[in-house]
């Protein structure tokens, strides 16, 4: 397995619309394994292939990631959903969302509380099931990724523009700090961390 690079806003790849999976081969299994490993390392509960710059409609999830059971990390409950789509949606739920592609920002987003999802397994078997609450929120967030949309795109226009500007500014500051580190390292001085 390998750790993949998670692309961050405003990387243009995050605006791409992913394409349906038609070939259920070894590379699809490898992608899902690598995505799960990356998601566990980054501490997320969901990851869409678009976020690692692979334009296949594939999502991994583990709603228990980061939870504890009897003082120990909860056992992993990994899920892989290929070509997921929402068949019907019911109710409303507002939760605070974050995203591995949007660092250091969380915001409340309104979504459907229950959704019926059709998807395929890694071997191409068709399934459908109802997902609720955090599961419903997570799959809606991930399907958004497959359609080139981020959770910040759900914010009201003015707030959205403000947040995007701030995130771009923060990312530039990070990149400059990284460049400074490289310069310092080249001069043979001890390297400091890019972020405090």
Shortest approach of Ni ion to residue 144 CB, angstroms?
8
Neighbours of 181 (CB within 10 A): 15
> 176: which residues sit within 8 A by CB, 6+ positions away?
none
The least distance separating Ni ion from the CB of residue 125, rounded to whole angstroms, comes to: 26
Residue nearest to Ni ion (CB): 99
Site of interaction with Ni ion (CB under 5 A): 99
Closest to Ni ion by CB, 28 vs 99, is 99
Give the tokens for residue 112: 């459907």
Asked whether the CA dihedral 120, 100, 109, 95 is positive or negative, the reply is positive
Q: Cβ distance 85 to 119 under 8 Å?
A: yes
Whichever of 99 and 146 has its CB closer to Ni ion, that residue is 99
Quick one: 28 or 139, whose CB is closer to Ni ion? 139
Would residue 142 show up in a list of annotated catalytic residues for this protein? yes
* Spatial contact of 9 and 165, defined as CB atoms under 8 Å apart: no
- Least separation, in Å, of the C-beta of 185 and Ni ion? 32
Residue among 85, 113, 142, 161 flagged as catalytic: 142
CA-closest candidate to residue 139, choices 121, 122, 118? 118
Nearer to Ni ion, 44 or 83 (CB): 44
d(CA 95, CA 10): 23
Compute the least distance from the CB of residue 35 to Ni ion, in Å: 12
**126-147: b or e for each residue (b if 16 or more CB lie within 10 Å)?**
eeeeebeeebbbbbbbbbbbbe
> Which sequence positions are flagged as catalytic?
142
């Amino acid at each position: 397995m390998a750790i993949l690079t998670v692309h961050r806003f405003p990387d243009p790849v995050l605006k791409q619309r992913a394409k349906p999976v038609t070939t259920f081969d070894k590379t699809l299994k490898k992608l899902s394994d690598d995505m799960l490993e990356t998601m566990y390392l980054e501490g997320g509960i969901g990851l869409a292939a678009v976020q690692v710059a692979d334009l296949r409609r594939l999502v991994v999830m583990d709603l228990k990631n980061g939870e504890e059971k009897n003082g120990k990390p909860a056992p992993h409950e990994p899920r892989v959903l290929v070509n997921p789509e929402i068949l019907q949606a019911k109710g409303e739920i507002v939760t605070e969302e974050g995203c591995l592609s949007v660092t250091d920002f969380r915001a409340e987003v309104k979504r459907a509380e229950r959704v019926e999802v059709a998807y395929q397994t890694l071997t191409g078997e068709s399934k459908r099931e109802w997902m609720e609450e955090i599961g419903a929120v997570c799959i809606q967030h991930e399907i958004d990724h497959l359609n080139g949309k981020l959770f910040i795109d759900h914010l009201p226009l003015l707030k959205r523009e403000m947040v995007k500007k701030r995130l771009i500014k923060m990312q530039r500051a990070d990149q400059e700090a990284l460049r400074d580190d490289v310069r310092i390292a080249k001069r043979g001085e001890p390297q400091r961390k890019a972020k405090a």
